[in-house]
Amino acid sequence: MLINFSNHPSENWSDFQKKTAIDSYQTIYDISFPSISPEISEDEIIHLAQNYARKIIKLQPSAVHIMGEMNFTHQCVSILKSYNIKCIASTSVRNSIEGNNSKTSIFEFVQFREYK
């Protein structure tokens, strides 16, 4: 099982990203990434990461797709890797469309890359 721990539910992933995940991990289970206030302390980040990591560890995933606020992500990845849980990020190409004084970015999934 791949746990998708991000603000991007797997139901909204491209067909290619879903197929890549399922081919590698058979199933996808979504856990919403928490909203992280820029005002909380490092200790609060650590505590929050420990709480989420405990929940994820109990699910015994093959891997965790984790994307979000960098300090929290770093803490979670460190904890999960200490339990030998593979952590991955998705990579993408950003295609921008400009016009009418606006810019729209479309992200196209390329691959999953492991946190090492």
Distance in angstroms (rounded) separating the CA atoms of residues 102 and 22: 36
User: CA-CA distances (angstroms) from residue 106 to 13, 57, 71, 96?
Assistant: 12, 33, 26, 6
Domain holding 108, by residue range, is 2-114
CATH classification of the domain holding 70? 3.40.50
pTM, rounded to two decimals: 0.90
The DSSP element (H or E) to which 70 belongs, if any, is helix 70-82
Residue 87 one-letter amino acid: C
- pLDDT tens for 25-75 read 999 999 999 999 999 999 999 999 999 999 999 999 999 999 999 999 999
Structurally, how many domains does the chain consist of? Answer: 1
Q: How deeply is 48 buried, as exposed, middle or buried, from its count of CB atoms within 10 A (0-12, 13-18, 19+)? A: middle
